Copies of this chain bind each other. A is one copy, B any other.
């Protein structure tokens, strides 16, 4: 099948999958888990082929680690499937219900979006996780994994397809794309694909965003800030800055820039320098910073840089408003934190920082679906519509309006003898059968 056929099949399957009963979807997820265990040997064998090739190709160690899909990873994937089975069906929930008039009832009901295109790098566990999330939420999915995981992705996609279709899910709901050319075609298929979820490096996500008219859920950059206010507890600030920068520096919610109020800069910066340099962090600073501690000079490019490394840029500011302005101009609207004991200052920061996640007195590293308690995480979004910040299953859902009447026509509700709408809230939570 060529990619257009795969996409068309996914669109067709999505209609049936949207109407699939909860127990069918859950037993399909259970069948996937059973099949992954049954065929663990074959999966590991396929993965070893990919790993061997990757070693031959001198893939970097972190990438090799992400590519690995061994028995432990299979067990983890099965546990993930089980926790998804345990969740209530997010589809078919009545979000709102209104009587427009006697015998004319309006229901706003959650439903899947349709066909989700997911593009991810290396990690084969992402394939299992995202297709399971799509199935639970009633969406068809087109998947494109990293070419270095081709053998692993192929066997996983086959296993998931076979076990779900045997469980009664419409064939075609999952399509595997394998080449870069496939991706380029996919980005052009607004007719069949309703949402793209890219997972990978910022360059990769930016490429996707810049090359499609299909809505994209995700974030390109994670340029996160910690602002240490004049009224900060400096010990707390040191901890938060160190954690935000160093706890895992290669991820989107790690801090890249430290903003320091000038009133505490002389006291705070030398302590921060000691603590951060002890952890191997290189400091770059504005001119004011350089007057207090020895740093590499920072320029405007630093304010726009996502280092994803043990590097931190530092700028001294005169007020919370100046910090907010810097963040809104140079940040990526992802996650920004203030450290302050002053509640008014904190409230101002919360209200004025235009980011998905705005934190007070805690590490930027908390912005994460698991830590937020969302259950499964679809991704972290810096979009201004639909879903923002860490996105759980609800990011894969939208709603439809059902209006159930008994013969009503609009003509009766217009003109001088017009019937009136009652617009009464209905408490009943289900669409009547």
Min CB distance A395 to B, Å, is 9
Stretch at the interface among A49-57, A72-80, A268-276, A347-355: A347-355
Does A365 interact with chain B (Cβ within 8 Å)?
A: yes
A397-408 interface code vs B (CB 8 A; 1 in, 0 out): 011111111111
A384 at the interface (CB under 8 A from B): yes
Known A236-B407, A385-B386; judge A98-B372 contact (CB<8 A): yes
Chain B nearest CB: distance from A226 CB in Å?
A: 11
> What is the distance, in angstroms, from A260's C-beta to the closest C-beta of chain B?
17
Residue A100, interface by CB 8 Å? yes
Chain B residues in 8 Å Cβ range of A195? 384-385
> Is A231 part of the binding interface, using a Cβ–Cβ cutoff of 8 Å?
no
Q: Mark A341-367, 1 if CB is under 8 A from B, else 0.
A: 001001110111011111111110111
Contact assessment for B239 and A407 in the assembled complex, using a CB-CB cutoff below 8 Å: yes
Name the CB-closest residue of B to A115.
Answer: B384
| Copies per assembly | 2
CB of A304, distance to nearest CB on chain B (Å) = 13
A207 at the interface (CB under 8 A from B): no
Which positions 22-46 of chain A face chain B at CB distance < 8 Å? none
Q: Are A398 and B388 in contact (CB under 8 A)?
A: yes
**Min CB gap A428→B, angstroms:** 16
Closest to A412 in B: B243
A398 to B395 Cα, complex, angstroms:
13
Contacting pair B247 A411 (CB below 8 A): yes
Q: Determine if A19 and B351 form an interchain contact, defined as CB atoms under 8 angstroms apart.
A: yes
A366 with B114: CB separation less than 8 A = no
B433 touching A347, Cβ below 8 Å: yes
Alpha-carbon distance between A413 and B18 when the two chains are bound, in angstroms: 38
A63 to B421: give the CA distance in the assembly, Å. Answer: 30
